[in-house]
Amino acid sequence: MNKSFENLELRDELKKTLSDLEFTEMTEIQSLAIPVILEGQDITAIAKTGSGKTLVFGLGILNSLDSTNLTLSSLVICPTRELADQVASEIRKFARLIKNTKVITICGGTSQIHQEKSLEYGSQIIVGTPGRLLKLIKEKKISLKGIKNFILDEADKMLDMGFIEDIMEIEKFTPRDKQSLFFSATFPERIQELSSSIQNNSKFIKTKQEESEILISEKFIELLSHKDKESSLIKLLAEYKPQRFIIFCRTKIITDKVNNLLNDHGIISESMHGDLDQNERNVVLRMFDNQSLSSLVATDVAARGLDIGGLDAIINFDLPSKKEEYIHRIGRTGRAGNKGLAFSFFIDKQRKLVDEFCENRFELERSDFIDVMDLNEEQEYNLLPPMCTLYISRGKKDKLRPGDILGAIIGETGITDKSIGKINILNIISYVAIERSKADLVIDNMKNKKIKKKNIKIGFA
């Protein structure tokens, strides 16, 4: 099968955008699914995390978009706010040459009033989570009568989270004549049931799994007791020295405890769990994404829906209870053709669980197990992330653009653009990653300065 984007029947604006973004060759799921979607057929696609699924349905949505009509035509439902924000951002990026394209996110945990105001101006694409979507649909703030595309992203996760009733109820407000696209990393029976209830002659598409087996090296560390995990974690990090990694824990209390342990050892880390409000979670994710943090210690709220590239490793400080969650966790590493490590601590009582996690791959070998006694206790683990994240007290409401921030910093400090990383502009605040050695210089030189003739405040995020 030809994997060139050039051979797809896409509108010129999308082809130009793909070329500008240097998208030349499709991934397996893209080459299998995009042509089917462009033909208007329903699909249920099973593909591992990080395989490029957002582009699959994003191109399908945008290729048939009528820019002159602000009636809602596409609904994308996601399990978490983080994933919804990420998907909406990606769709906007793909749509940048298609004029008047409006994409809005509708999620819980943020102001409903602001969402209602956005809806009043019309939108063609909504990306959201089931609870808030259903609430606004019932309150008649959202009409699904003109829906042409109905997409479930990470459908298996939504079923695990108990959203199936909300999804079924939302679907009842949509017309029968629509295209339904389901995407999932696993294929439990309930996905099949959902497909048969909603979709029409859906084509089942499943990618091969060999790539993840080759790219992700799974290692298991058996301990005598859960109490040995903390000391073993530091030894493990000192031995393998991953530069960027996620550690998964079972509870919020354990997450904070492990995060404190890392920081006590000089490893710059943050925790992420359900006690953080949305703004706090956004800041943590942006810092981790722009390489201002070495580690993210998280509950399973971070196991799905986060497109964070360049991870050297993930560590299961606590094993998940289900094989599906194990697959999603380790799928954070070994992405985009890069190799990754997946470490898992376990005790003797959990050996059956380890066997279950690995039943569909090659038989476990001796090299798959690490004896903690073999880890060199004398090694030090000194790690400083290359960037720092600074905040600037202006954002989209001030019509601020990345170029404005970039130009102001270079002009006031004399540093080059190579010392400036990712710039994220939110409604009333912006974040910019600065090379760690230059951060103090930027803060000192930008204090009491203006960007676009407006005073700013600047400091460490």
pLDDT tens string 225-254:
999 999 999 999 999 999 999 999 999 999
- In CATH terms, the fold of domain 387-460 is Alpha-Beta Plaits (3.30.70)
Neighbours of 411 (CB within 10 A): 10
pLDDT of residue 306: 62
Look at 355 and 341; give whichever has higher pLDDT: 341
Using alpha carbons only, give the angle 433, 238, 236 rounded to the nearest 5 degrees.
110
Q: Is the pLDDT score of 337 beyond 70?
A: no
pLDDT tens by residue, 9-50? 999 999 999 999 988 889 889 999 999 999 999 999 987 767
Q: Please give the backbone phi and psi of residue 77, each rounded to the nearest 5 degrees, phi first.
A: -110, 130
The CATH architecture that domain 211-374 belongs to is 3-Layer(aba) Sandwich (3.40)
Of 152, 101, 144, nearest in space to 128 by CA:
152
The verdict on pTM exceeding 0.75 is no
CA 83 to centroid of chain Cα atoms: 5
| Domain definitions of the chain by residue range | 5-206, 211-374, 387-460
pLDDT band at 210 (very low <50, low <70, confident <90, very high): very low
Residue pLDDT, tens place only, 140-155: 999 999 999 999 998 8
pLDDT of residue 444: 95
Q: Which CATH architecture has domain 5-206?
A: 3-Layer(aba) Sandwich (3.40)
Amino acid 213: pLDDT? 46
